[in-house]
Structure 1
Amino acid sequence: MDMQARAVTYGALRDIKSALDAASSPDDFFAETEVILNDPQNILELPLNLGVPDPLDPGAQQASARDENNAPLVYEYLGALDRANASDRRLWTFLAFVTFREYMEKRWPLEQDKNWKSRVEDRWLMLNATRGKLVRHGIARLWWVTTLTYDVTCQHPLSRAAGDPFAYTREAFHREDRIMALFDRESGALPELVRSVLDHIAQGGAFSDEKHIRALMVEITLVYGYRDLGTLDKAEMRKVIDGSFVVQHPYAV
């Protein structure tokens, strides 16, 4: 089996976007992308072999909780990429349209979506590798959230208790609303901060409420504006997080 790693070319990215703009239906769009991706001139061979990926499980009715298990599989398949390669829109587009096509069609289907072209640009095609795009894209999000939460030595509370280096990854993907709340902002690029927030959320009850998580991250973002959170130790980080909870939820026990 061919294990050569590949990406699309910049020209192919432009052609796929043009096909999307011109398509009148998902079927028309996929038919055109098949032509584009079957042209060898549109495929870039990368200088590495990744092996054969484990299949990803989209779950019943695109159940987001299945990504708790899918994210570690993508991370283990791609490995610890450097940030430049991990931000390459050509790689993520190839992975979505080719390598993990079956998962994408079931997890992020287009047929029943009235705004299917927007879904293509959000989840399938990566035209710009911004932070928001990287945590929205159907495959990139699985790798990026994992690389920011992976605890290889299980030294942090959740992973130590579970004996699982991906425990924080699974906590992050436990509910879909957590991904954008935690990672679509500058503070979400700090693994120590992210793990501390996930420790806080894992307490359950009001701590894991969607509105509370959003309010907590807004407060942390304000703090991040005048303090370098990346220099805080665990105890100081916890004070920032718990202090935000008191401010936002004075009724909490």
Structure 2
Amino acid sequence: MPRIYVVREQALKDMEARVLLDDGGQWYRRSGAFEFTPEQLLEFPHDAPNEPPALVVEDSRRGRAAADFEHALQVYDWIGPLSETEARDRRLWVWAAHGPFADYTRARWPLPSEPKKIRNSILEHWFVQGEGRASLRRHSVARLWWAVHLTRAPWEQDDALLPLLNEDPYVYTRLLLGNQDVFFHTLEREFGSDQRILIALLEVVRRSKRAQSPLIKWLSKEVNLACRYRELNLLPIEELIALMESLEALERESSDKG
């Protein structure tokens, strides 16, 4: 049975140091998975059910993002459900990007030409830089797993979301991964860590007939501000959605006057 691993901390530090010394990113331009010695890895306490999925990426900027939803389902099914503590372990995602999903990471996040941007791209998409969920949002593989974890049939995880019961368990996953602006402006914000607020916002976007990109940019900012003086996650879900829809109405009125 295939195994899932994490990279030992010292090996991870050595890999990051090597990235800082390699201005051209040559180490990351080669095809195939990176080779690890047994001493560099630890077994993760979960078995994989089968061989890792082959994630095929189209050779265009739009095409690279087009399959994010399908890829997210494949990654989640392969790695399986994890506790949030396990899923925040950067050593797991470093192994995943450098091991079974190395070619996917190269294709989905091709390296730029400028040396400084090369290093930043590698550290963001192959490693996990910074703290919090926003850093995981940038990682090539972690972002896919977390997108499903946060949005798959949320009414099964939180009874307060039962009013949003839908025959499609991935209705919010499709929305989150179907538009890069929606993904960025929700998971980059602090409220993106709260499933109830995240799902309410996605539901407002889903109900709206307006273009998603300008709506999510403005609404996510306003919701983030509201979270600073109100505990929005304590509101009943329909009341929370109504509040967000009132914010949307204010922005629409402002736009119409402009």
TM-score range, shorter chain: 0.7 to 0.9
Aligned to 1:214: 217
Q: Cα distance, 1:164 vs. partner?
A: 2.4
Task: Say which is worse superposed, 91-100 or 20-29, in terms of deviation.
Answer: 20-29
Q: Cα distance, 1:3 vs. partner?
A: 0.6
Alignment of 1:246 onto 2:245:
no
Q: Which amino acid aligns with 1:20?
A: V
Q: Which amino acid aligns with 1:200?
A: V
Q: Which amino acid aligns with 1:119?
A: S
Aligned to 1:149: 151
Q: Cα distance, 1:29 vs. partner?
A: 5.1
CA contact (8 A) 1:58 1:67 kept: no
CA contact (8 A) 2:181 2:216 kept: no
Separation of aligned partners in 1, 2:130 and 2:255: 41
Separation of aligned partners in 1, 2:23 and 2:124: 18
- Scaled by the length of structure 1, the TM-score of the pair is 0.87
How do 1:151-190 and structure 2 match up within 5 A? 151=153, 157=164, 160=166, 163-190=167-194
Where in structure 1 do 4 or more consecutive aligned residues deviate above 4 Å? Answer: 152-157
SS in 1 for 2:43: strand
CA contact (8 A) 1:68 1:171 kept: no
SS in 2 for 1:212: helix
Separation of aligned partners in 2, 1:220 and 1:91: 32
- Scaled by the length of structure 2, the TM-score of the pair is 0.85
How do 1:63-212 and structure 2 match up within 5 A? 63-110=64-111, 112-114=112-114, 115-151=117-153, 157=164, 160=166, 163-203=167-207, 205-208=209-212, 210-212=213-215
Segments of structure 1 that go 5 or more residues without pairing to the other structure are none
CA contact (8 A) 1:13 1:127 kept: no
- Cα displacement string for residues 46-67 of structure 1 (whole angstroms, at most 9, x for unaligned residues): 2331122222232331421210
SS in 2 for 1:45: strand
How many residue pairs match? The answer is 245
Q: Cα distance, 1:240 vs. partner?
A: 1.6
Aligned to 2:57: 58
Separation of aligned partners in 2, 1:125 and 1:88: 11
**Which of the residues 213, 234, 238 maps onto 1:231?**
234
Task: Say which is worse superposed, 143-152 or 133-142, in terms of deviation.
Answer: 143-152
Task: Say which is worse superposed, 222-231 or 85-94, in terms of deviation.
Answer: 222-231
- Cα displacement string for residues 49-87 of structure 1 (whole angstroms, at most 9, x for unaligned residues): 112222223233142121011112111222221111110
CA contact (8 A) 1:206 1:252 kept: no
Q: Which amino acid aligns with 1:116?
A: I
SS in 2 for 1:135: helix
- Cα displacement string for residues 8-67 of structure 1 (whole angstroms, at most 9, x for unaligned residues): 111111111111011132224567x977x4222111112331122222232331421210
SS in 2 for 1:173: helix
Separation of aligned partners in 2, 1:156 and 1:170: 19
Separation of aligned partners in 2, 1:214 and 1:127: 24
Specify whether residues 56 and 28 from structure 1 end up closer, same or farther in structure 2 by C-alpha distance, changes over 3 A only: closer
Q: Cα distance, 1:249 vs. partner?
A: 2.2
Separation of aligned partners in 1, 2:235 and 2:242: 10
Identity level (%): 25
Separation of aligned partners in 2, 1:153 and 1:211: 28
Q: Cα distance, 1:130 vs. partner?
A: 2.2
SS in 2 for 1:238: helix
Q: Cα distance, 1:227 vs. partner?
A: 1.3
SS in 1 for 2:229: coil
SS in 1 for 2:105: helix
Q: Cα distance, 1:224 vs. partner?
A: 0.7
Separation of aligned partners in 1, 2:191 and 2:254: 26
Specify whether residues 206 and 47 from structure 1 end up closer, same or farther in structure 2 by C-alpha distance, changes over 3 A only: closer
